[in-house]
């Protein structure tokens, strides 16, 4: 594993000694004015007619604005009401010493993720993700097995156990710790059953608190150092002591740390400001969260997705800015409005995958379905569409301008449905739980949408 991204003891001290400010003042008198300032100063403007821009100078401006915002605002620790502030030299030091690749998994299941450039012909990594979706204990192993058996998956995140042993896995309750341990144990069982025992698993969504995350760290039956452990950014540009305790535990145990960050469009900033916040959040992940990479899922605060016109613009420019100005490894986590077994979710997944891949995302982290909030409404088919389309766009050597034209043709098929999208079907309704094969209906939907993308220039691998 690479060394910590930056001096962890210095970060811990700053959470106790930085300038005092109330959270309300941090939001209203520090963060919001600085967002408005940098957007104006760097002249960042959204163009709805170009959802996938090819303007390198715009990507550069977004990077510079993100750096400016991070250095001027810092990171707010909600546990102490302190601002952790960093200098330009400190940030440059951390960026300079950042690793060139990370390794996940063990044995034959080991995978390497590396930074990519804009329109890079190299294959991005793929993480198949039902993370955040609530799941029953009865179906948990089967659902995870269905994801893990997908050949394109380098790694898999896992759903949240809603209940375990008859109790709800509420945060800070004993059932949370029990649920986190069962979650890790059952995820490992699923990997063994599909013949991928060394596969990296994103663990454990059921365990939100640091204590429960620590309890699930066990290299034999639970979370291994080669797995993915997550430390969230509290929106926007915040952290607390519980999250810092996670980072400290993961770092001391040599884990792969991923920063989980979700800037909210429609809260503090317009689409331009939210894009800049995305860059600043990546820098928080590097300096404060101690992340080896980032899981990035900017979210529309109303539709809870990132597949609309403005959100695809944000995703594309975020990755263009990161890819052309840093070596930061970031996974583009898709969020769709529609649910499984619908054409709409296939369109959303395909566009998110290709936009992310061609714009320079290092990893395709696909895809949360049905706004990630409906019980067991997730299947591997949505992730397969996002990753297969993204990888095929790379194989086809598509330019940003090519993808822009495809996006403009597909968006009208679902834009008007964003406020009233079909919820589709549950995992049990989409998959045979004995064979773990998708239904004939869903395979036919997949094939139809794939044929549409092929007609628009995506040369699919198979």
- Give the per-residue pLDDT at 1: 45
Q: In sequence order, what are the residues at sequence separation of 6 or more whose Cβ sits closer than 8 angstroms to the Cβ of residue 111?
A: 103, 104, 105, 125, 154, 155, 200
Size (the chain), residues: 462
Work out the angle between the directed axes of helices 343-359 and 380-395 (0-180°, nearest 10).
40
What residue numbers bound the domain in which 383 lies? 102-455
What is the average per-residue pLDDT within 348-364?
A: 98
What is the enclosing helix (H) or strand (E) of 161? Answer: strand 160-161
Distance CA 450, CA 74 (A): 44
Distance CA 317, CA 58 (A): 8
Task: Indicate whether 382 belongs to any domain.
Answer: yes
pTM for this model (two decimals):
0.96
Is pLDDT above 80 for 48?
A: yes
Residue whose pair of structure tokens reads 């820098």 in the numeric block: 283
Average pLDDT score, the chain = 95
What is the average per-residue pLDDT within 22-42?
A: 98
- Give the per-residue pLDDT at 204: 86
Task: Indicate whether 18 belongs to any domain.
Answer: no
Is pLDDT above 90 for 453?
A: yes
Task: Indicate whether 14 belongs to any domain.
Answer: no
Q: In sequence order, what are the residues at sequence separation of 6 or more whose Cβ sits closer than 8 angstroms to the Cβ of residue 446?
A: 346, 381, 384, 385, 438
> How many angstroms separate the Cα of 214 from the Cα of each of 56, 205, 282, 387?
43, 13, 24, 31
**176: domain CATH number?**
3.20.20.460
Task: Indicate whether 448 belongs to any domain.
Answer: yes
The better pLDDT of the pair 269, 339 is held by 339
Task: Indicate whether 45 belongs to any domain.
Answer: no
Task: Indicate whether 38 belongs to any domain.
Answer: no
What is the average per-residue pLDDT within 417-432?
A: 97
Number of domains comprising the chain = 1
Dihedral sign, Cα of residue 185, residue 127, residue 450, residue 373: positive
Q: What percent of the chain has pLDDT over 90?
A: 92
∠ CA(311), CA(272), CA(344), 5° rounding?
10
What is the average per-residue pLDDT within 21-33?
A: 97
For 6-15, 391-400, 407-416, which range has the lowest pLDDT when averaged over its residues? 6-15
Q: What confidence category does residue 3 fall into, taking pLDDT thresholds of 50, 70 and 90? A: low
Is pLDDT above 80 for 131?
A: no
- Give the per-residue pLDDT at 4: 60
Task: Indicate whether 323 belongs to any domain.
Answer: yes
Task: Indicate whether 350 belongs to any domain.
Answer: yes
């Amino acid at each position: 594993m690479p060394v910590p991204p930056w001096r962890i003891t210095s970060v811990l001290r700053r959470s106790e000694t930085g300038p005092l400010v109330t959270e309300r003042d941090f939001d209203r008198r520090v963060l919001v004015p600085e967002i408005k300032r940098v957007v104006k100063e760097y002249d960042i403007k959204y163009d709805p007619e170009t959802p996938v821009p090819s303007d390198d100078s715009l990507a550069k401006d977004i990077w510079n604005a993100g750096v400016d915002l991070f250095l001027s605002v810092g990171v707010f620790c909600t546990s102490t009401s302190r601002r952790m502030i960093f200098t330009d030299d400190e940030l440059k030091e951390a960026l300079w010493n950042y690793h060139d690749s990370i390794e996940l998994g063990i044995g034959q299941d080991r995978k390497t993720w590396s930074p990519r450039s804009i329109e890079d012909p190299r294959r991005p990594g793929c993480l198949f993700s039902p993370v955040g979706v609530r799941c029953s204990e009865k179906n948990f192993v089967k659902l995870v097995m269905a994801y893990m058996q997908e050949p394109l998956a380098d790694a898999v995140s896992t759903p949240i156990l809603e209940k375990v042993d008859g109790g709800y896995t509420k945060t800070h309750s004993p059932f949370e710790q029990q649920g986190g341990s069962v979650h890790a144990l059952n995820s490992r069982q699923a990997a063994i059953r599909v013949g991928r025992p060394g596969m990296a698993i994103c663990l454990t969504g059921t365990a939100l608190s640091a204590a429960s995350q620590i309890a699930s760290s066990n290299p034999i039956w639970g979370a291994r150092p080669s797995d993915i452990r997550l430390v969230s950014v509290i929106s926007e540009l915040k952290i607390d002591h519980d999250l810092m305790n996670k980072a400290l535990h993961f770092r001391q145990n040599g884990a792969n740390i991923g920063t989980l960050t979700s800037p909210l469009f429609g809260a503090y900033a317009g689409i331009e400001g939210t894009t800049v916040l995305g860059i600043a959040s990546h820098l928080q992940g590097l300096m404060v969260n101690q992340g080896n990479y980032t899981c990035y899922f900017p979210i529309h605060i109303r539709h809870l997705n990132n597949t609309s016109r403005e959100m695809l613009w944000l995703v594309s420019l975020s990755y263009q800015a990161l890819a052309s100005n840093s070596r930061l490894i970031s996974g583009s986590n898709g969020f769709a409005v529609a649910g499984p077994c619908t054409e709409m979710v296939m369109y959303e997944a395909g566009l998110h995958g290709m936009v992310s891949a061609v714009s320079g995302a290092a990893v395709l982290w696909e895809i949360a379905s049905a706004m990630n909030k409906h019980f067991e409404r997730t299947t591997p088919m949505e992730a397969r569409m996002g990753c297969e389309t993204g990888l095929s766009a790379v194989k086809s050597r598509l330019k940003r301008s090519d993808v822009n034209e495809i996006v403009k043709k597909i968006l009208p098929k679902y834009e008007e449905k964003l406020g009233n999208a079909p919820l589709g079907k549950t995992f049990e309704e989409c998959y045979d739980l004995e064979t773990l094969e998708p239904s004939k209906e869903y395979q036919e939907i997949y094939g139809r949408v794939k044929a549409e993308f092929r007609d628009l220039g995506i040369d699919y691998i198979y």
